[in-house]
Amino acid sequence: MQELGIRERILKFIDTLPNTVSVKAYGSSIAYQSGYKENEKKQVDLIVIVDDIKEFYNENLKKNKYMYKFTPKLYFKHAKSETLRKAAGICYTTDIDYGQDTYKMGVIEKADVIDDLLNWKTFYIAGRFQKEMYTAKKDDQIEKANEINKRNALTVALLLLDKKNPKLIDLYEKICSLSYMGDSRKSFKAEDPNKIKKLASGSKKHFDKEFTEKTDLFVVDKNENISIDYNKVLKMIDKLPLELKMKIVDKIGDKKITDSFAEIREGIEEYLTTIIKKSSMGQTKKGILTTGPKNSIGYALAKLKKGRKKA
């Protein structure tokens, strides 16, 4: 009998869960990243989207008790819906062994996903969804909102791309870097310092399809140099999430928009750094309860060791 591939195995795993709206898989198990050995076991990262997060955990605690250690079991049993939806709205469970794979599963409500994709309230989901993912279960409303999210990411990346004679890979790296602005893992060197380059190069075909082929904001020559149409890009500021747009407008003040690139970049960087830092720290604190103290500390130390090893 032929061995199932990772995508088929993910489908078998999600069949064991209570009802879901959509499921996305991401990370090195799905998208190629340089620096990993071909036979190296990789954690499978999932975002499981549900209608009601409290109802999901009530059912899954009965259906799949093996997923939860003592502290998370108590937390998910007694925490109210509004508590589960704090920080970036997502709750993670780690070290879920199923078949030959180990899963890290984040559960979040559909309403919170769409809100972040459209409004960039935390950028936790929006930043992740801008990168390559495998959609194991699709929801049309989420996909539509993500198209807007990716369009806005491209606008912001082009505005932040101040390198002279930029190449296409520079743009893709800038898109990948957005979700790391203000991330607490970067502050503590708990992330591979070359991860952005690895993400951009490993997912180039994905970025070509999702960004280059869907826009007229720039053109690419045969050597993959890009020429940006800043007149069109500046007009796209009006379509950005409202709070980010207001931050940019406040920074520009009375100046002409065409003379305000420094202010525009400053506004974008301040906005993203602030919201990402807040959501990142909030998720780190919540992770102690959702994964258990031992798992949470172990995961953090492993990330720290891995990040500093590759520094």
Q: What DSSP string describes 56-74?
A: HHHHHHHH-GGG--HHHHH
Secondary structure letter of residue 99 according to DSSP: T
Q: Is 51 helix (H, G, I), strand (E, B) or coil?
A: coil
What does the pLDDT look like over 195-252, one tens digit per residue?
A: 899 999 999 999 999 999 999 999 999 999 999 999 999 999 999 999 999 999 999 9
Q: What is the pTM of this model?
A: 0.90
What letter represents residue 180's amino acid? Y
> What percent of the chain is predicted at pLDDT more than 70?
87
Q: Is 23 helix (H, G, I), strand (E, B) or coil?
A: strand
State the Cα–Cα distance between residues 169 and 266, nearest whole angstrom. 23
Kindly give, in sequence order, each residue whose CB lies less than 8 Å from that of residue 141, ignoring residues fewer than 6 positions away: 110, 114
Counting beta carbons within 10 angstroms of the beta carbon of residue 156, is it exposed (0 to 12), middle (13 to 18) or buried (19 or more)? Answer: buried
Shortest CA distance to 28 belongs to which of 50, 43, 14? 43
Q: In the predicted model, what is the mean pLDDT of residues 292-304?
A: 55
Give the H or E element holding residue 26: strand 22-26
In this predicted structure, the answer to whether residue 308 has a pLDDT above a threshold of 50 is: no
Q: In the predicted model, what is the mean pLDDT of residues 67-91?
A: 95
Q: In the predicted model, what is the mean pLDDT of residues 150-156?
A: 98
* Neighbouring-strand partners of residue 167: 225
